[in-house]
Amino acid sequence: MARITKEYYERKNEILDAAQELFLTQGYEKTSVDNIIKKVGVAKGTFYYYFKSKEDLLDKLVKRMTDKIQIEIKKIVEKKDLDAINKLEKAYSIAGNIKLENIHLIKLMLKILYEKDNLILRYKIYKSNVELLVPEFAKIIEQGVKEKLFNTPYPYEAAKLFFELGWMLGDTTSKLFLELDEKPENMDKMVKEIEVYEDAMERILGAKKGTINISQPGDVEKFSRETKKIKD
């Protein structure tokens, strides 16, 4: 059984890797299922065994990245030598680093999800993030309440609110980001949106002002520089 499971995931990842490469080199719209199966060397039936459609494959590409974020955040949650505030900051930091490592995929996703205004797929990705990551953030908040760093009787609901507000933040900053080349002033707007989000988190948690820092100075500029290195 273990051998079958390994082969299943190896083949699935092989298709995901090939599709991601084609999406980046040819564009999402110009890449067909036929292009993908030709590159991998499998039958069309094999593709549909793993994925319902090209859109489903794109969704799974993002989920693969989110799964990696969840694994790393779990490690942070389990650490005994960090208080809740440090864990929260490290959780956001590791998520940011993994996204930076996958900058090609992030830029691709932004173009598909926001330029095409694909609201349904955006929402599906958001829901997937909630299911995977909210329970881990809730554990951090529970620890913070015990340490008297946070003051909320609803740790899970507070964590869920983070992601609901984060979805709105992502929606706003992504649109600003996509127009950054034409509107350099959007950089300051993005930084302000993140500051508003941090302020909202502190209020939800009942934390002291200045406690929550999900983004360090220069992070937005660094993200912008890395994406400019990628050809459209």
Rounded Cα gap, residues 83 and 60, in angstroms:
33
| Per-domain boundaries in the chain | 1-51, 54-228
User: How sure is the predictor about 143, in pLDDT bands with cuts at 50, 70 and 90?
Assistant: very high
Q: What would the pLDDT profile of 169-199 be if each residue is shown by its tens digit? A: 887 887 887 787 788 888 888 888 989 999 9
Q: What would the pLDDT profile of 96-113 be if each residue is shown by its tens digit? A: 888 878 777 777 777 777
Q: Which CATH class is domain 1-51?
A: mainly alpha
CA-atom Rg of the chain in angstroms: 19
Task: Evaluate if residue 58 carries a pLDDT over 90.
Answer: no
Alpha helices in 112-218 (DSSP H): 119-146, 155-178, 186-205
User: How sure is the predictor about 126, in pLDDT bands with cuts at 50, 70 and 90?
Assistant: confident
Task: Evaluate if residue 117 carries a pLDDT over 80.
Answer: no
CATH code for residues 54-228: 1.10.357
Rounded Cα gap, residues 12 and 4, in angstroms:
12
pTM of the model: 0.78
